[in-house]
Homo-oligomer: A and B are copies of this chain.
């Protein structure tokens, strides 16, 4: 389930949009001022929907802060003013989509779905970069500066697990389920072993140990 933060000072529209978005099963939090929204950036929602015109901090300033905090967080702009729209497109504010007022809530929902799917789907196509490494998920290949590195299937599964969730700590339990499947009943020490093997082969991967918890991949 995804969390969506909505920022729009028109309370009526705000209320309507929240209703529509919640109807899709998303968890929505709404703000009517830029400052209030800014202080919620650390909560890391899965998607931001920003109106450009806001009483205090405007949408452009807001997106800068959001992207500064996490480059990958998707943002959708909404605005009524043509010059804002031009600015969004022309200056490349880093938004993932925009929608011009007036619009049907239905339309917004469609865009949100699309953006969420793209941002949080394991990229079957496309690639993942991590420092000098380039990962081609669909080819089960990882290269270091063009030089392919051999990984066994479990090693690769682990890599993908972490590479698609950079920064998120993973418990041994989670790793076991993801790599071994939920029908594995051996010791969870095998995870340590697998981590060790991956670290050895991919020495530039910052696989951090979280004592008593598990592991996480630190952003490059």
Question: CB < 8 Å: which of B13, B24, B153 contacts A92?
Answer: B13
Residues of A in contact, count (CB < 8 Å)? 41
Residue A65 at the B interface, CB < 8 A? Answer: no
Residue of A138, A139, A153, A211 with highest tally of chain B CB at under 10 A:
A139
Q: Flag A115-126 by CB within 8 Å of B: 1 or 0 each.
A: 000000000011
Task: Determine whether the beta carbon of A210 is less than 8 Å from that of B140.
Answer: yes
Answer yes or no: A141 CB below 8 A from chain B CBs: yes
Are A102's CB and B127's CB within 8 A? no
Kindly list chain B residues whose C-beta atoms are within 8 Å of the C-beta of A197.
none
Contact A16 B126 (CB under 8 A): no
Within A6-23, the residues touching B (CB, 8 Å) are 12-13, 16, 22-23
* Chain A interface residues (CB < 8 Å from chain B): 12-13, 16, 22-25, 86, 89-92, 94, 96-98, 101-106, 125-127, 129, 136, 138-141, 152-153, 167-169, 210-213, 216
